[in-house]
Chains A and B, each alone.
Chain A
Amino acid sequence: MSATLAAADDFDIEIRLFLDAIYHRYHYDFRSYALQSIKRRIRAAMQRFGCQTLSQLQERVLQDAELFPGLLDFLTVHVSEMFRDPPFFLALREKVVPILRTYPSLKIWVAGCSAGEEAYSMAILLHEEGLLSRSLIYATDINPRALQRAEAGVFDVQSIAGFTENHRRSGAPVSLSEYYTAAYGSALFDKALRRNIVFSDHSLATDSVFAEVQLITCRNVLIYFDRGLQERAIGLFRDALCPNGFIGIGSKESLRFSRHGAAFVPVSTEERIYQMRRVGP
């Protein structure tokens, strides 16, 4: 075996030790994240913290708890946009909303909401479909700083043009500008949208189901998990959904590799929206 290969293997060992240490010290479980992605993020963190080796970073983070929130920002993913994949939201409006209308009250879970883009998109869509006032949206993430940002409802004005175009293509009846005020390079979203959103700390890796919901969206979150952790998350979703409840996942994520896959039937194969199979005869 060549020296370079041996070195790569050593780094893999260091990563395992590092993620174990993070878990035992801070109770954040990245041990079942997809290896190559977390490896890139750890390398970026090493660079940011000026550490030559991962053991150096590990030592510093274990000894100084104040460093951990900064590290967590590196280990979690914040890249998102409002109404990402507009056809997904269009399919929600056309195929899911008509059934959601039949419920007197709605609970919706946006899992892995990061800085809130998906949660606000959901609130806006529900408002436009006349459902927001009877809805409660649980927006969950593992990163407290991301949740704080989400709660503030402030987004960089530079990203608004893209969000606006996405929103338009999602079948929106009005412009996105109806929902925010722009000032000092930021767009502040209407507080009324937040009234029905509960932002809270929840881990798909370590926590359990907290409510029965009619709709879950968890898009581009499962891609960061290995198959074992994906199974755990999909199991949680299955347990959280009411009979005939809906779930939307990312456009390149799939339930077909999952042993829970048979519990779901596709509503829109292209947009990766599924419905729980009817339980019983």
Chain B
Amino acid sequence: MSGPLTSLAGRALDAIVVGGSAGGVEALSELLPVLPAKRGLSVFVVLHQPRDRSSLLPDLFASRCALTVCEPDDKQAIEANCIYFAPSDYHMLVDVGPQISLSADELVHFSRPSIDVLFESAADVYGARLLAIVLSGGNADGADGARAVHDAGGVVIVQDPRTARVPVMPQSALDRVTPDAVLPVAGISMLLNTLNAKEFPNDR
């Protein structure tokens, strides 16, 4: 590895996937508002939550983000400059199209939605043009997914477990993959800020 990642300015990216559980909301509150509105990115978020009630996250973040925030329906077409929050009690997958596929399959790591399910499907569709972020959380969900993103050539950023409210999730990811950067949330935020650079290398 050529040293830790310090800028994303020159990096061709189509999508960002983010996963977390306990302590994840605080981290997201710092990260999602930083994302630039016109970089053409699609952003997908899985946060472990109770399965028996609908998620409050889209409402919580809608007013604070430059990107459009939504909780998608099944087979909704994926658009640029949108943030998709996995609905409660469904796995959220990036499918060919690209479009969203939801599933009510078995829990993965006791979770539905599962971070692994999102990350692995996104790695499959976006390959090297994907950035994955593993945040604070209480189990190993996300580790296999981060590995899949890395293996497909994508960028992996892990919250420094020493700065996470619950270190198990980021530590599990570090045990599974050598990420491009390990940073506290403020550092991840600064890194995401480099996406604001004037030159847009997304030359599809």
Which residue numbers of A lie inside 8 Å of B, CB to CB? 2, 4-5, 8, 34-37, 39-41, 77, 79-80, 220, 222-224, 226-227, 230, 250-254, 256-257
Contacts and interface: CB of A to CB of B under 8 A. Distances in A.
A34 B95 CA distance: 7
Given A34-B95, A223-B101, A2 B128 contact: yes
B74 A223 contact: yes
Given A35-B95, A36-B94, A222-B74, A5 B104 contact: no
B175 interface: no
A40 B93 CA distance: 10
B135 interface: no
A223 B76 CA distance: 11
A79 B106 contact: yes
23 contacts: A2-B127, A4-B151, A4-B153, A34-B75, A34-B93, A34-B103, A35-B96, A36-B93, A36-B95, A36-B101, A36-B121, A36-B124, A37-B95, A37-B101, A40-B117, A77-B105, A222-B74, A223-B101, A223-B104, A227-B75, A252-B90, A254-B74, A256-B73
Given A36-B93, A250-B74, A257-B75, A4 B127 contact: yes
Nearest to A5: B127
B179 interface: no
B9 interface: no
B132 interface: no
A252 B101 CA distance: 10
A2 B153 contact: yes
B138 to A, nearest CB: 22
B47 interface: no
Nearest to B90: A252
Nearest to B73: A254
Contacts of A220: 104
Contacts of A79: 104-106
B54 to A, nearest CB: 8
B157 interface: no
B14 to A, nearest CB: 14
A227 B151 CA distance: 30
Nearest to A220: B104
A253 B153 contact: no
A5 B106 contact: no
Interface string B102-132: 1111100000000001001100110110000
B164 to A, nearest CB: 28
Nearest to B99: A227
A90 B46 CA distance: 29
Which residue among B103, B106, B124, B152 has the maximum number of chain A CB atoms within 10 Å of its CB?
A: B103
Contacts of B101: 34-37, 223
8 shortest interchain CB distances as A-B pairs: A36-B93, A34-B101, A254-B73, A36-B121, A223-B74, A220-B104, A36-B95, A37-B103
Interface in B55-95: 72-76, 87, 90, 93-95
A79 B90 CA distance: 11
Contacts of A226: 75
Given A35-B101, A223-B101, A252-B74, 20 more contacts: A2-B127, A2-B152, A8-B124, A34-B75, A34-B101, A36-B96, A36-B101, A36-B124, A39-B124, A77-B105, A79-B104, A222-B74, A223-B103, A223-B104, A250-B104, A252-B72, A252-B73, A254-B73, A256-B73, A257-B76
User: Quick one: which of A40, A80, A224 has the most chain B CB within 10 A?
Assistant: A40
Contacts of A37: 93, 95, 101, 103, 105
B111 to A, nearest CB: 13
A253 B90 CA distance: 11
A35 B151 CA distance: 20
B105 A40 contact: yes
Contacts of A77: 103-105
A146 B53 CA distance: 28
A4 B102 CA distance: 25
Nearest to A272: B73
Contacts of A41: 105
B64 to A, nearest CB: 24
A38 to B, nearest CB: 10
A230 B94 contact: no
A203 to B, nearest CB: 19
Contacts of B93: 34, 36-37
Nearest to B152: A4
